[in-house]
Amino acid sequence: MTKVPTRRSDTEKVQAGDYYDGIKRYYDQNLERTVVKLMTGDCYVTADTREMLVTILGSCISVCMRDPVANVGGMNHILLPGGEKKSRSDPGYSTRFGAYAMEELINGMLKLGAQKSRLEAKMFGGGNVIKNSAMIGTKNIHFVKEFLQNEGIRIAAEDVGGGLPRRIHYFPDTGRTMMRILQRKDDLRVVEEEKKYQTSLSQKKEVAAVEMF
């Protein structure tokens, strides 16, 4: 009798380094999960219980959100608070700003069957890892907390502030989160990447009207 090999879903077949819909994904054999890696300005929502969301945060901040009844979850990666007009030349430009990133996360979850009254959030990042007076991390924290309070969404957990970057692993089906503080030289590259992003955005004409609070 010939044994038919178990077939993995299309999502599980994704190999390391592949991009689907602009999001990097790969399959982790040990966790038996598809890992979805979010970069600055990314936002991702899912109802797939086999996915895990990962991001690295310096002064940026991420909100991990879920509806425990609908089993829908998601994450965003915010560079700066506030909001700006969408740039046609850069589709991910506006989602790097808090207002757009939060709206995209919530609306994306509602489209998958979540209900706003059941949403719970966890927030991470907002470290003042870039040595200047802008205190971007602190401003990101204040923005997200105020936004969630205004929307009536409960903050179930948070780990924010400080002076070091973080790596976040989020399981949207259960709400479980694993966090590691990054101190190794290789890991601290996220600080340089955020500096480059902030410099490039400051050179865009549209950024002039961004309200920093």
Answer yes or no: is pLDDT of 164 > 50: yes
Please list, in sequence order, all residues whose beta carbon lies within 8 angstroms of the beta carbon of residue 107, skipping any fewer than 6 positions away.
Answer: none
pLDDT at 97: 86
In a domain, 79, yes or no: yes
Q: What is the mean pLDDT of the chain?
A: 79
Determine the structural domain holding residue 65 and report its residue range: 18-205
In a domain, 210, yes or no: no
The amino acid occupying position 197 is: Y
Give the tens place of pLDDT for each residue, 41-80: 899 999 999 999 999 999 999 999 999 999 999 999 999 8
Residue 19: predicted pLDDT: 44
**What distance in Å separates the CA atoms of residue 130 and residue 135, rounded to the nearest whole number?**
8
pLDDT tens profile 176-206: 999 998 876 655 566 666 666 655 555 443 3
Query: Token pair of 113, please?
Result: 């069957």
Instruction: For 178, list phi and psi in degrees, rounded to 5.
Output: -115, 135
> What is the tens place of the pLDDT at every residue in 85-103?
444 445 555 667 889 999 9
What confidence category does residue 172 fall into, taking pLDDT thresholds of 50, 70 and 90? very high
Q: Which pLDDT score is estimated for 104? A: 94
List the catalytic residue out of 36, 38, 45, 60: 60
Q: Does residue 118 fall inside a structural domain?
A: yes
pLDDT band at 15 (very low <50, low <70, confident <90, very high): very low
Has residue 2 been placed in a domain? no
CA 6, CA 126: separation in Å to the nearest integer?
43
Structure tokens at 76: 């965003």
Query: Is residue 10 in a domain?
Result: no
Residue 81 falls inside a structural domain:
yes
CA 135 to chain centre: 20
DSSP state of 38: -
**What is the CATH classification number for the domain harbouring 53?**
3.30.1330.200
* Residue 9 forms part of a structural domain: no
Domain count, the chain: 1
Pick the more confident residue, 24 or 143: 143
Global pTM? 0.76
Q: Is 60 known to be catalytic?
A: yes
In a domain, 62, yes or no: yes
